[in-house]
Amino acid sequence: MGNNFVIIAGEEAGPKSNKMGGIWNVIDAEAHTLAALFDSGELKEEEKPQILIAGPYYGHRGADWNRGLNRITDMGELDSLSVDGKLQESLEALENAGINIFMGEKQVGKTKLAYLQFQSDNFGIIRTKYKKQHMTLENKVKAEAFEIIGLDSMKYESMGNGAEYTHYLNLSYAISELVRTLVIPAPQTGTEGERKGEKREKGEEEGEEERKGEKREKEEGEREGEARKAVYMEQAIPCPRVSLHCHEFGTFYAPARLRKLGIPVSTIATLHATLPGRTTGHNSIQKIRKNDSIWPPGVSENLAALEVLAAYADKVTAVGESTRQEAKLFYGIDGIVVRNGIRIETDKIDWDRKERFLGKIQNFLSEKLYMYYDGEQIEPEKFIPIFTISRIEIENKGYHDLLDSLLALEHIIKNSILEGHMEEGIKVICFLVTAEGPKTNLPEGFPIHIPKEILVGNELRIQQMIEERKLDCSGLVREKHSVAAVLYPQIISADDGGLGMEVGDFMAGCCAGVFPSRYDPFLLTGLEAGREATPSVVSRVCGFSDAVKTNESLIEGLGGVIVVDNIDLSYYEAVLDYALAASYFIRNFVDDRVKYKLLCREAFLLAKDMGWEKPTENYYELISGAQFCRER
């Protein structure tokens, strides 16, 4: 192995088992795309860095700070890490300091991706010294963070989300130690160096040792200064030896600590949202327009204290223009926009796959509705599945807007049937895929059969919103409604206890996606729908809409993605436009499959145009100063 490293870090970095949301997809795609770009030969071979993915390790049930997800990191999909040289020295130094690292690698083309997963939940039992005081590693991390940054961990850890804050601080410390030991292998004043000093204390008198200790500290400081000077000289080359790209605030203490310690490393901090912006939600646009920087009530003070540390990075990026403006408004941080992308490894749409999973969804609905509701069995072909999928943020993700638009869609479809423009008996089912966390031991017939005792938190609230609007499935049979909403409070997978398919297969089998977000920095799910050649309706407020031409009114032939203006239109105008846009896709799906397939292709091509190559090139250029030169 060489001496040139690109480290991509985040709370969700690592195997897929570490996934909480869309940021895992972003980190995974960036790493794989970077490997492909290195393989392309557009960098000189000697410049090709090693790609390291750094994130947390959850070794057992209960180790995850997020009790709802309760993740367990599964390294089984990875091969054993082959390591030597500087990386081996660094990992040995960290292990000598008591930091446990679980390692693996994956071959991507000609390039290996190395995964380094740090266990941080045991920092409270690792003994070390700081400022000549014996303490746990966790307390050392907090003491140092207070000294060099001013983070008041005694205050922050006592808050309701204190465990989450402490986890992020420990994880960031471990990642920064990885970088530090790669750049400056000589021991610093810290766990490893102080352990050596502790061994020398044996057999000496306390007063004499204090004098000698001061002398040793001075000598070590001089040696460290020489080492740093040498490294700085080495860093004069255009491509830095070590680069660190941190996604989201959970790892932002790492670049801040490295900056404060004077470690020569190139860093990027990427904001996928801001905490004040997410708390403000749909009102954040008005705050930006009014230049109102006052934080709304409810912002997590301790996590925001970590988020603002993005300012210590060499470059700050945001995934959308609204997030960039929020960072400037709430934190005074200037950044640039590097959009998200999506990985699509094929140039063709698998129409057979789409039809296969459409049929599976339709058969499921026909069977389960007949099983759990009285009445005549509805033919599978009559069902038209549409969907939304998001975090369970009711206001920010626009669930009121979506459900009200389904009421409008009911009237549009009924009128279309009466006027002879649509076949009688059509049933539109909108799946609302959102959950407080994964579920086990679900009842037979889930999610058509969904006892309320399995619902928690906002899941109960959404189900109540469905029933208040009489959009539950019973209306399809008993009151001959044409539209229903089905809450799907589960993480979709092949063994989820419901439809039993992966999320991509589910999207491929649906007629359209509807994403009426009132606050969404990017909306990666819109691109994911496009990857599956599924058309979608998106709100203007989301970052994804920047890539789609916004039209003044709905007209035929808009393409595979329709943008609804939920910024300047009134609430009811926007709700009606969501319904009209959805009905446009449904009508073509039912009456003109040739045209519908063209819409699917347009959605696919738009997603294809928004691949990860350009964002990854941008990140690499920002972090290294090197460009991928096509003429080479």
Could you report the per-residue pLDDT of 297-312, keeping only the tens digit for each? Answer: 999 999 999 999 999 9
Instruction: Band the pLDDT of 225: cuts 50, 70, 90.
Output: low
Cβ–Cβ under 8 Å, residues 101 and 83: no
Could you report the per-residue pLDDT of 466-523, keeping only the tens digit for each? Answer: 999 999 998 888 778 999 999 999 999 999 999 999 999 999 999 999 999 999 888 8
- Residue 218: per-residue pLDDT: 54
**Residue 322 within a domain:** no
Q: Does position 572 have pLDDT exceeding 80, yes or no?
A: yes
* Mean pLDDT of all residues in 193-218: 47
- Say yes or no: 82 and 202 in one domain: yes
**Residue 317 within a domain:** no
* Domain-terminating residue out of 272, 304, 337: 272
Query: How far is CA 198 from each of CA 73, 97, 210, 223, 570, rounded to the nearest angstrom?
Result: 35, 13, 12, 19, 69
d(CA 256, CA 243): 14
**What's the number of CA atoms in the CB half-sphere (13 Å) around residue 216?**
17
We report the CATH number of the domain holding residue 423 as 3.40.50.2000
- Residue 550: per-residue pLDDT: 38
CB atoms within 10 A of CB 464: 12
- Say yes or no: 145 and 248 in one domain: yes
Of 9, 6, 17, the residue nearest 251 (C-alpha)? 9
Between β-strands 111-118 and 101-108, what pairing exists: parallel, antiparallel or unpaired?
antiparallel
d(CA 172, CA 166): 10
- Say yes or no: 254 and 359 in one domain: no
- Say yes or no: 357 and 268 in one domain: no
Paired strand residues for 485 = 430
**Residue 320 within a domain:** no
- Residue 266: per-residue pLDDT: 95
* Mean pLDDT of all residues in 251-280: 96
Of 287, 332, 335, 339, the residue nearest 308 (C-alpha)? 332
* Mean pLDDT of all residues in 260-286: 94
Q: Which helix (H) or strand (E) holds 406?
A: helix 399-418
**Residue 26 within a domain:** yes
User: What does pTM read for this prediction?
Assistant: 0.84
Q: Which residue has the higher pLDDT, 201 or 130?
A: 130
Could you report the per-residue pLDDT of 99-130, keeping only the tens digit for each? Answer: 999 999 999 999 999 999 999 999 999 999 99
d(CA 484, CA 467): 10
d(CA 77, CA 12): 16
602-523-333 Cα angle (round to 5):
130
* Domain-terminating residue out of 246, 272, 298: 272
What residues contact 36, with CB distance under 8 A and at least 6 apart?
Answer: 108, 109, 111
d(CA 509, CA 356): 7
Could you report the per-residue pLDDT of 41-97, keeping only the tens digit for each? Answer: 776 556 689 999 999 999 998 999 998 888 999 999 999 999 888 899 999 999 999
- Say yes or no: 382 and 493 in one domain: yes
Four-residue CA torsion sign, 282, 288, 292, 298? positive
d(CA 246, CA 468): 43
d(CA 236, CA 215): 32
Of 152, 141, 150, the residue nearest 175 (C-alpha)? 141
- Say yes or no: 373 and 263 in one domain: no
d(CA 334, CA 89): 37
- Residue 46: per-residue pLDDT: 62
- Say yes or no: 421 and 549 in one domain: yes
- Residue 376: per-residue pLDDT: 82
**Residue 410 within a domain:** yes
- Residue 480: per-residue pLDDT: 84
Burial letters for 382-396: b for 16+ Cβ neighbours within 10 Å, e otherwise?
bbbbbbbbbbbbbeb
* Mean pLDDT of all residues in 539-543: 88
**Residue 303 within a domain:** no
- Residue 196: per-residue pLDDT: 43
- Say yes or no: 378 and 244 in one domain: no
358-579-369 Cα angle (round to 5):
40
Cβ–Cβ under 8 Å, residues 396 and 281: yes
| Single-letter residue type at 134 | H
- Say yes or no: 154 and 30 in one domain: yes
- Residue 85: per-residue pLDDT: 86
- Residue 28: per-residue pLDDT: 96
We report the CATH number of the domain holding residue 156 as 3.40.50
Instruction: Give me the number of domains the chain comprises.
Output: 2
What residues contact 578, with CB distance under 8 A and at least 6 apart?
Answer: 401, 402, 405, 408, 514, 516, 537, 564
Burial letters for 572-598: b for 16+ Cβ neighbours within 10 Å, e otherwise?
eebbbbbbbbbbbbbbbbbeeeeebbe
Of 450, 496, 456, the residue nearest 473 (C-alpha)? 450
- Residue 192: per-residue pLDDT: 43
CB atoms within 10 A of CB 295: 17
- Residue 235: per-residue pLDDT: 44
- Say yes or no: 356 and 256 in one domain: no
Q: What is the mean pLDDT of the chain?
A: 88
> How many residues are there in the chain?
632
CA 518 to chain centre: 18
Paired strand residues for 130 = 133
Could you report the per-residue pLDDT of 155-186, keeping only the tens digit for each? Answer: 999 999 999 999 999 999 999 999 999 998 65
* Domain-terminating residue out of 229, 257, 272: 272
Range of the domain at 376: 351-611
d(CA 224, CA 417): 79
Cross-sheet strand order for the sheet of 242-247 = 101-108, 111-118, 50-56, 5-10, 242-247, 266-271, 315-318, 336-337
**Residue 620 within a domain:** no
- Say yes or no: 356 and 264 in one domain: no
CA 483 to chain centre: 32
**Residue 278 within a domain:** no
Paired strand residues for 597 = none
- Say yes or no: 212 and 74 in one domain: yes
